[in-house]
Amino acid sequence: MTDNHKQRMQKLKDKVDERIESATEERGLLIVITGNGKGKSTSGFGTVARAVGHGLNAAVVQFIKGTWACGERQLLENAGVKFEVMGTGFTWNTQDKEKDTIAAQKSWSKTKDLLQDKSIDVVLLDELTYMVAYKYIELADVLSALKNRPINQHVIITGRGCHRELIELADTVSEVQSVKHAFDNGVKAQKGIDW
Ligand code: ATP
Ligand code: MG
């Protein structure tokens, strides 16, 4: 029994070692965190924190302004992370497409600067997927900016319903599935947990 286990583990280790050895390329990654479950933005911010902990330069663009300021902002700004937050014109509540488009395009224009800046190692584009879904910004423009970014720059895109072409372009894609959420049982959004 024990021997069997040992053998199995050794086999697994050999396989993993082989794969680690064959992964030699080093370059910036495009990561997409999508799906309906909770954990997309927190994953993106977690990665930013991880990068900053290693002394890398990071920037965050938030494409949807929530009702509350997110807790990560102050912490990460204090750590030197640049934040671009979409103007007050845009929240889920607005029904003014023209105003929203202007706000989205302003943030997208700042994003394009970041995607040309070699000094920025990691860029988090939080809730970008909706800007593409609602056609506030052009998919072709997004794809081209991502393809032409500095070779070593990592980009993380979060948001539900990510466009198929962004998923195809990405190196790593995770879909967060909702199994249950406290909100469904009447629990309101909790400070420090939900924002
Ligand atoms: P988080 O920021 O907590 O990682 P998220 O980025 O995955 O969440 P969003 O779709 O951006 O999720 O929604 C943000 C807010 O909605 C958060 O307060 C989150 O807790 C809440 N939320 C996320 N998923 C669900 C869900 N399946 N049902 C209800 N509320 C949700
Ligand atoms: Mg989110």
> Ligand 1 pocket, 194 CB below 6 A?
yes
Query: What's the number of CA atoms in the CB half-sphere (13 Å) around residue 79?
Result: 20
Q: Determine the distance separating the centroid of ligand 1 and the alpha carbon of 23, expressed in angstroms.
A: 34
Please give the pLDDT value at position 1.
Answer: 59
Say if residues 71 and 115 touch (Cβ distance below 8 Å).
no
> Ligand 1 pocket, 36 CB below 6 A?
yes
Q: Determine the distance separating the centroid of ligand 1 and the alpha carbon of 194, expressed in angstroms.
A: 7
Please give the pLDDT value at position 153.
Answer: 98
Query: How far apart, in whole angstroms, are the C-alpha atoms of residue 177 and residue 158?
Result: 14
The pLDDT tens digits for 153-180 are: 999 999 999 999 999 999 999 999 999 9
Say which range, 19-23, 54-58, 106-110, has the weakest mean pLDDT.
Answer: 19-23
Check the CA dihedral 23-117-52-66 and report its sign.
negative
Given the DSSP bridges, would you call strands 172-175 and 58-62 parallel, antiparallel or unpaired? Answer: unpaired
Check the CA dihedral 182-188-190-194 and report its sign.
positive
In this structure, the residue with its CA closest to atom 27 of ligand 1 is 37
pLDDT more than 90, % of the chain? 76
Q: Note if the pTM is more than 0.85.
A: yes
**pLDDT reading at 92 higher than 70:** no
Domains present along the chain, CATH in parentheses:
28-185 (3.40.50.300)
pLDDT more than 70, % of the chain? 92
Strand order in the sheet with 122-126: 82-85, 58-62, 122-126, 154-158, 30-34, 172-175
Task: Read off the pLDDT band of 64 (50, 70, 90).
Answer: confident
Most informative mutation of 36, 38, 63, 194 for ligand 1 (most atoms within 8 A of CB): 38
Task: Read off the pLDDT band of 21 (50, 70, 90).
Answer: confident
> Ligand 1 pocket, 83 CB below 6 A?
no
Phi, psi of 6 (to 5 degrees): -60, -45
Helix (H) / strand (E) element for 130: namely helix 128-133
